[in-house]
Structure 1
Amino acid sequence: MKSKATLLGHPIHPMLIVFPLGLLPVASIFDIIYLSTHNGHWADVSYWLIAAGIIGALIAAVFGFVDWLGIPDGTRAKSIGLIHGVANFIVALLFIVSWFMRRPDPAAPSLLAIVLGWIGIVIAISELAFRPPGDRTTQRLDARVVRGQPC
């Protein structure tokens, strides 16, 4: 399978996943620091990291969905892509709910808002951890740079 959405021959989806992959876990770490220090600055920064992570996740999801539509039906790659998409939809939904719960006072989120984020992190890690080793890379499924395209 070759990625349907590319930029200069490179798949767009893998370029974009780094944003939620970095922003959302850091937000959850900042929530732990907030709980430990009771310094609202950490929670406030977490609020904005979650907002940016959600935006990044939604944009990445569009390109991931385009790629998934290009995978032939009935293949292992299609099944893996479906599980990946559903799991990450749930993760994004948990963070969206957490973000809305924080809106009234971003510097003092409820414990439930923080826990929802951590549940999202656990789901994201589980989705990756429980895949068979050969399924952890897109190259194994032949979703890589289109040959002959500029790097």
Structure 2
Amino acid sequence: MDHHTHTSGTGSTAALGGHPLHPMLVGFPITLFIGAFVTDVVYLATSGAFWAQSSVWLLAAGVAMGLLAAVPGAIDLLTIEHARRWRLAWIHGLMNLGLVALAAMNLILRRREPEAAVAPFGVVLSAICVGLLAITGWLGGEMVYRHGVGVSKAVGAEDADASHDAAAATGSAAHGSEHAAATR
């Protein structure tokens, strides 16, 4: 069995057509929050009002998408017994909620004067969000890739069966040619 086969995967209870929803959605807030940090840095370098306003829109969209991604994540956390009993899953979920709350605070600080709010607090809050994304992303990756949380129980089974069948066929052919050579 190779390292990509998860015979003990948990599956996902928040799925559409068998595809887990949480991983489909998390890329949006990740990209939007990183984008907000980048536009903050560009604003600091250029003083262009466009960049400060862009950060506001990116933060708003990131908060909305973060909350949307949290719904299937919470459903999986509460309905997958292995995840529910596992401290790492709770840390991942709670840190992400804290991250979204921090981004929402960052957004509120910028409501009236987006340009004035970038330095020093806005860019610092954006940088903290990016740092938290790195940590929570690593935790999520650990749950999926190392422990099979949310992974279909049958992932890799077809490939493993095909590899086994091919090896068996190759072994039989090799054994047959050895037998034929020995009987000559």
Is the contact between residue 78 and residue 84 of structure 2 (CA under 8 Å) also seen in structure 1? no
User: Structure 2: how far apart are the matches of 1:61 and 1:142?
Assistant: 16
User: Structure 2: how far apart are the matches of 1:17 and 1:128?
Assistant: 9
Would you tell me which structure has more helix in proportion to its own residues? 2
Structure number with greater Rg is 2
**What CA RMSD, in Å, does the superposition of the two structures yield over aligned residues?**
2.4
Partner of 2:110: 102
User: Structure 2: how far apart are the matches of 1:49 and 1:5?
Assistant: 26
Q: Alignment partner of 2:106: what SS? A: helix
5 Å-filtered alignment, 1:3-82, equals 3-72=12-81, 78-82=86-90
User: Structure 1: how far apart are the matches of 2:147 and 2:85?
Assistant: 10
For normalisation by structure 1, the TM-score amounts to 0.84
Matched, 1:144 2:147: no
Partner of 2:142: 135
Matched, 1:114 2:123: yes
For normalisation by structure 2, the TM-score amounts to 0.70
Instruction: In structure 2, give the amino acid aligned to 1:63.
Output: P
Q: Could you list the runs of 5+ residues in structure 1 that have no partner in the other structure?
A: none
Is the contact between residue 10 and residue 144 of structure 1 (CA under 8 Å) also seen in structure 2? no
Is the contact between residue 12 and residue 63 of structure 1 (CA under 8 Å) also seen in structure 2? yes
Number of matched pairs = 144
Q: Alignment partner of 2:144: what SS? A: coil
Alpha-carbon distance, 1:77 to partner: 6.9
Alpha-carbon distance, 1:142 to partner: 4.2
Distance 1:142 1:120, change over 3 A: closer
Identity of aligned residues (%): 34
Runs of 4 or more, structure 1, over 6 Å off, are none
